[in-house]
Structures are given as C-alpha cells and as structure tokens.
Amino acid sequence: MNDAPLLVLAAGGTGGHMFPAQAVAEMMLSRGWQVVLSTDARGSRYSGGFPDEVIVEVVASGTFAKSGLVNKFFVPFHILRGILSAFGAMRRRRPNVVVGFGGYPAIPAMASAITLGIPCMLHEQNGVLGKVNRLFVSHANKVVCGTSPTGFPENVKVHYLGNPVRQAVLSKHGSCYIQPGDYPMDLLVIGGSQGAKILSDIVPKSVSLLSEKLRKNLRISQQARAEDCIRVSEAYAEMGIRADIKPFFQDISERINQAQLVISRSGASSVADISIIGRPSILVPLAAAIRDEQTANARELVDSGAAILLPEDQFTPEKVADQIQTIFDDGNRAQNMANAALACAKPTATVDISNMIQDFDRDI
C-alpha cells in the first residue's frame, strides 16, 4: 500500500469550487501527496482538468436550489447516502487532511471528516460565506478565504490567503500587457462555468455600436451556452468580426493573456484569473445570486480602478459599447487598469494553502 500522505478535496459541481481545488491538487501531487477529489456526478464533469493521478470519488448529494417539491423532499436522503459512502471510505483509509471548497457535493466528505476527527480545512472563495461552508465553518480546524472581507462568525479565525489558481493561469502571472492601438486586438467574453445568456444577448449588439475603426481591428473570443453559439457566431459574422464562440475554452489562460479587455461574470475564480494575469475588465455580477456574492467578489478590482462594474440592470448595449470604446481608445487608461488588476492578485495562494495543509500536524 502506498504510504504517502492522503489529501481529500471536497468540492461542488461548478468551476468556482472546482478550479481552486484543482490548483491545490496540482501542488500537493508535486509534493508527493496522494489526492482524492470527492464530488457528485455533476462535479465529476468538471474533473477533466485535474491531473490523472487524482482519484475521483463520486458521492451522492443534492441541492435545494433546484425547483420542484419532489426534488427538495429527496435532497436530505441523497446527502445522507453520500455521507455514509464517504464515511465508509474514510474508515477504510483515513485521510491525513480533508479540505472543503464549498457546494453541496462537499457535504459528505466534510461531515465525515468532522465526525471521525480528521483534520479539516475550509476554503471560501467568495466575498460572502456560502451556505454549505456556513454549516462547517465553526467545526473546521482551519478556515481560509479567497476574497476579503468575507463575513465570518466572530469566533472563527480566518486566514486571508486568496484563491488558488491553476498552474496554466499562474504561469501567465504578470505577463506583458499590450495596450490597445491601431492593430488587431482581442476582446474576451466569459460567463463562468455555466455560461451567461445575457452576454450572448448584449455583447454582439454592443459591438455593432462601436466605431468602424475599432471593429476593423477587433477579434472576439466568447463563451456562450451551446444553444446560443450559432446565433452569436452569425451576429459577429454579419459584422465581419473574427470571432471564436464556444461553450467552454480549455485554453482560458492563454485567451486572458492575449486579451486587451475581458468582459466577465465576477465569479471568484474568474476574478482571480483576471487579477493574476493582470487585465482590464468589465464585470457583470450574476443578479440571481441570492447573497450577491459576485458583487462582493468584484469589489477590490472595481475600487482599485482595475475593473468597471455593470450590474445586469445596467448591462445595456449602449452602456457596454461606451465602456468598450472608452477603454480601447485610451491605451494609458487600459494599461493602468491592467496594472491595478495585477496589484490585487494573490499569486502565492496555492503555495500558502498547500503549506498550511502540510503544517496541520504541527499547528492543530
């Protein structure tokens, strides 16, 4: 049996939870640890970017966010089944550390670790404490946040270390920013791991309102839901704009690196990626987020002058076009925004969190 220390990462089924877990997995594998990802069936679909050495354990879970009384009735039973499965796995081989990154699929592993007395850490990515992390925050041995300030109970000691980013993103940290000018320029539009219909509805209309000179030089990479890809592609084609429209970009770090401007949801991982590479951005918080955590996530970039905040009710073709045109017409301002974004970055987050995991035996 392999006697290397074992780390279990518990994460939910969206990129916002999975990408930080992936970053930590990459680092801990490089330090000789074994790594298990505990998630549900939905989360396992986002595990393709994890190193092959990571063992993916799929456990039952559920969320009350889905509509329907029948679904809500069965959620506790799904979660209980997942807890029993995770509990049994940890009894058979006891992990050295369990780290929870939030989301309902993290419940089974975190609940089992706390019950068994296994050292556990909680990482909150967003500027507002999530529902699942709120359940465990007072029971975790260590608590880390990626965005500050985040509201935590007064009796909880919190370490502000930042959000871990994947190695592909970290490798672009502080890469040279090419100011807008009279040459081909890149606009990147990303809507988080779920895509964003409002970006598909509004951004092509905004581009149509830009000056002919700017449109002539513009290249667009835009993430769109599968059902929106054709209409978005056709809209840009009619304008003669070179555009690459996909539901998901595997090379997102390279696209952020090439971009003169990023239009994005302000999920915690997206904000971290933009900051690490250092690019100007227009941030569009998800209005449906009950806790409005995406507005909180954007706060530091906006306050520092690195980003423009446009809530959904202000995200109109005219306002978006005005912001795009203004940024592309003023290279010095764009450069200052890029510099400000970089100043907000936490490039050591992955290392710092990994060090904290390794130091558990000494610090607890």
Q: What is the predicted pLDDT for the residue at 304?
A: 98
HSE-up of residue 274 (Cα within 13 Å, Cβ side): 34
Helix, strand or coil, per DSSP, at residue 281: strand
SS3 annotation, 115-130: HHCCCEEEEECCCCCC
Query: How far is residue 189's CA from residue 207's CA, in Å, rounded to a whole number?
Result: 12
Which homologous superfamily does the CATH classification assign to the domain defined by 185-343? Glycogen Phosphorylase B; (3.40.50.2000)
For 6-163+347-363, give the CATH class. Answer: alpha beta
* pLDDT above 60: residue 361: no
Q: What's the mean pLDDT in 105-122?
A: 95
φ, ψ of residue 18 in degrees (nearest 5):
-80, -35
Q: What is the predicted pLDDT for the residue at 151?
A: 84
Question: Do residues 88 and 116 lie in contact, with contact meaning Cβ atoms separated by under 8 Å?
Answer: no
* pLDDT above 60: residue 73: no
Q: What's the mean pLDDT in 304-332?
A: 97
φ, ψ of residue 186 in degrees (nearest 5):
-115, 130
The ranges assigned to domains in the chain are 6-163+347-363, 185-343
Q: What is the predicted pLDDT for the residue at 81?
A: 84
Supply the pTM of this predicted model: 0.91
Query: What is the per-residue pLDDT across 168-211, written as a single tens digit (0 to 9) for each?
Result: 999 999 899 999 999 999 999 998 766 689 999 999 999 999 99
Query: How far is residue 10's CA from residue 101's CA, in Å, rounded to a whole number?
Result: 6
Q: What is the predicted pLDDT for the residue at 68?
A: 61
**Burial tier of 276 (Cβ tally within 10 Å: 0-12, 13-18, 19+):** buried
Q: What is the predicted pLDDT for the residue at 239?
A: 96
Q: What is the predicted pLDDT for the residue at 193?
A: 62
Q: What is the predicted pLDDT for the residue at 70?
A: 56
Task: Write the Ramachandran bin of 189: left for phi over 0, alpha for psi from -120 to 50, otherwise beta.
Answer: beta
| Distances from the Cα of 101 to the Cα of 67, 98, 140, 143, 293, angstroms | 24, 10, 12, 10, 15
The answer to which of 59-63, 275-279, 285-289 has the lowest mean pLDDT is 59-63
Q: What is the predicted pLDDT for the residue at 136?
A: 95
Residue 110's CB is within 10 A of a number of other CB atoms, namely 29
**Burial tier of 75 (Cβ tally within 10 Å: 0-12, 13-18, 19+):** middle
Say what percent of the chain tops pLDDT 70: 93
Residue type, 96: N
Kind and range of the H or E run holding 187: strand 185-190
Q: Say yes or no: do domains 6-163+347-363 and 185-343 share a fold.
A: yes
* pLDDT above 60: residue 98: yes
Helix, strand or coil, per DSSP, at residue 270: helix
Cross-strand partners of 10: 38, 100
Q: What is the predicted pLDDT for the residue at 49?
A: 85
Query: What is the per-residue pLDDT across 35-44, written as a single tens digit (0 to 9) for each?
Result: 999 998 776 7
Q: What's the mean pLDDT in 89-108?
A: 93
Q: What's the mean pLDDT in 208-222?
A: 97
